[in-house]
A and B are shown apart, each in its own frame.
Chain A
């Protein structure tokens, strides 16, 4: 009996030791090589962040940048925990996240590094070319259920959306479904398919003529059809297609800023990297990836 007890105690102690030792080891960037930084966050931005990191490493071979996705919330949570130097986010940081960060002694510092347009996509065989923001809202809230009601074929509408953890989902909910009205409590129709990645949305759009979806302009390929969108509050007759020009001049209604957050004012290597991101070189990469650069060229 005592041996059993000792064994049990020993195991419990082992497990406790294993559990408690982890949070202690803080993940500051390795102190001796100051040319290291960690960059976590938005899946929308992950391709852009990777391209930037590669480009920067090519120009500065001694530097070492680690980039990963996971979502805007994941990135900001890592910034709050101090496990990343730069957090990518496709939405603005929430006030409770700022509170959490300040409780940890971190002051999030915001940079708008690029812009993104959300394209409305359908199957190439769908005859519909244009929709208004109101129609999109009615489709996703479940008021319009057949393409016929929009002048299309007699087919049911299958709504595709990113998962609720995606910054794109939240943006679409606020700006399209609720048309920017903060008091509006409209929700996605319960039969909206919540798909885990842009790839799955793309796969369904390509094969299903009933489907409608939305995704960042950078993820749209040639075998999908992009819908022109009109902003009813501005000019209801003008259907605008997403492009760098229409996003930069503000005429395309579903576009947003892409952010990077640093802990406090960036210093040293992080600062050099952030400054480089606003250079012409880095912003050209933004254009190549289908996003919209923040400096006019």
Chain B
């Protein structure tokens, strides 16, 4: 009796342990794979070649600068649009809207997050790019701006939904105390509720950055994929080529083990490092905030 009861128990413990460790193991295996395929590039391409301004891999021009700039421009553009919009939407849903409006709005925002990105890419390609070209008198609508707008649409649901949850968890008593001290509703939101929910809001923005910088299909379809160097403010409306789109477009065709193949994996390492920096800086910031606020509260 006893043994038969202990056995499934230990099996389940084992299973849970296994799934827990497997996540870590997979990250390390992926990292190992990236390194083992990407590191050989240093024996094949002089390091300074990566700082050229020309990306044309079939003739061995491996300048990564235009791709790096392209990824940054499109991501920054998406954030400039998505962060204020997402934050304000979250504040409206969590703090201002009536319960009925909230019940309609929140599922709708989450529905937007469920759209396959390739569908948004098609909308961008066939409709948005055309309007942007006509309205802004651009040479072509396939540009960084179109990419940013669509990426903002992709990052928005994550930002809204998570920051709204964070605002929701701020205790009622904070708002009541602030209002009792004579603060207006707007002052309460801006100076009390939002700072109290800061770590959750920051997590939301970081996840938004993650989605935007890692998105591939959309940028491949709507940004025009021209590896251009920045030209002042026009950079935002010029065609651009991102790192993810480069890997997606070229990996299928490249000969296994060639220099080009290794360079593509090296781009993967660069993306991995960027994601790591974003995550680490976000979590250190979030943890520091938590400790301080907890100290004040206790």
Binding site for B on A (CB under 8 A): 4, 7-8, 11-12, 15, 70-71, 73-74, 77, 96-97, 100, 155-158, 163-165, 170, 185, 187-188, 190-196, 200, 203-204, 207-208, 210-211
Residues of B within 8 A of A12 (CB): 25
Known: A164-B58, A196-B249, A204-B142. A190 touches B228 (CB 8 A): yes
Question: Across the interface, do A164 and B250 meet the contact criterion of CB distance under 8 Å?
Answer: yes
Question: Across the interface, do A165 and B249 meet the contact criterion of CB distance under 8 Å?
Answer: yes
Residues of A within 8 A of B133 (CB): 207-208
Q: What is the distance, in angstroms, from A254's C-beta to the closest C-beta of chain B?
A: 19
Distance, CA A190 to CA B21, complexed state (A): 46
Binds A, one of B109-117, B167-175, B219-227, B276-284: B219-227
Known: A164-B58, A194-B226, A210-B140. A7 touches B17 (CB 8 A): yes
Distance, CA A11 to CA B23, complexed state (A): 11
Q: Looking across the interface, which residue of chain B has its beta carbon closest to that of A207? A: B130
Distance, CA A97 to CA B253, complexed state (A): 13
Question: Across the interface, do A193 and B56 meet the contact criterion of CB distance under 8 Å?
Answer: no
Q: Looking across the interface, which residue of chain A has its beta carbon closest to that of B127? A: A207
Q: Looking across the interface, which residue of chain B has its beta carbon closest to that of A12? A: B25
The size bracket of the interface on B is 35 or more
Question: Across the interface, do B221 and A204 meet the contact criterion of CB distance under 8 Å?
Answer: no
Distance, CA A4 to CA B18, complexed state (A): 9
Question: Across the interface, do A196 and B224 meet the contact criterion of CB distance under 8 Å?
Answer: no
Residues of B within 8 A of A187 (CB): 54, 56, 59, 61
Across the interface, B226 reaches (CB within 8 A) one of A191, A203, A204, namely A191
Known: A73-B253, A163-B249, A165-B252. A196 touches B141 (CB 8 A): no
Residues of B within 8 A of A100 (CB): 255
Q: What is the distance, in angstroms, from B20's C-beta to the closest C-beta of chain A?
A: 10
Question: Across the interface, do A190 and B250 meet the contact criterion of CB distance under 8 Å?
Answer: no
Q: Is B35 an interface residue (CB 8 A)?
A: no
Across the interface, A193 reaches (CB within 8 A) one of B29, B54, B142, namely B142
CB contact list, B220-240 vs A, under 8 A: 220-221, 224-229, 238-239
Residues of B within 8 A of A70 (CB): 252-253
Q: What is the distance, in angstroms, from B177's C-beta to the closest C-beta of chain A?
A: 48
Question: Across the interface, do A194 and B253 meet the contact criterion of CB distance under 8 Å?
Answer: no
Q: Is B241 an interface residue (CB 8 A)?
A: yes
Per-residue 0/1 for B170-211: is the Cβ within 8 Å of any A Cβ (1 yes, 0 no)? Answer: 000000000000000000000000000000000000000000
Residues of A within 8 A of B40 (CB): none
Residues of A within 8 A of B105 (CB): none
CB contact list, B3-32 vs A, under 8 A: 14, 17-18, 21-22, 25, 29
Known: A190-B228, A192-B226, A193-B140. A73 touches B255 (CB 8 A): yes
Q: Is B126 an interface residue (CB 8 A)?
A: yes
Question: Across the interface, do A210 and B139 meet the contact criterion of CB distance under 8 Å?
Answer: yes
Residues of B within 8 A of A210 (CB): 139-140
Residues of B within 8 A of A204 (CB): 129, 140, 142
Question: Across the interface, do A163 and B225 meet the contact criterion of CB distance under 8 Å?
Answer: yes
Residues of A within 8 A of B145 (CB): none
Question: Across the interface, do A194 and B241 meet the contact criterion of CB distance under 8 Å?
Answer: yes
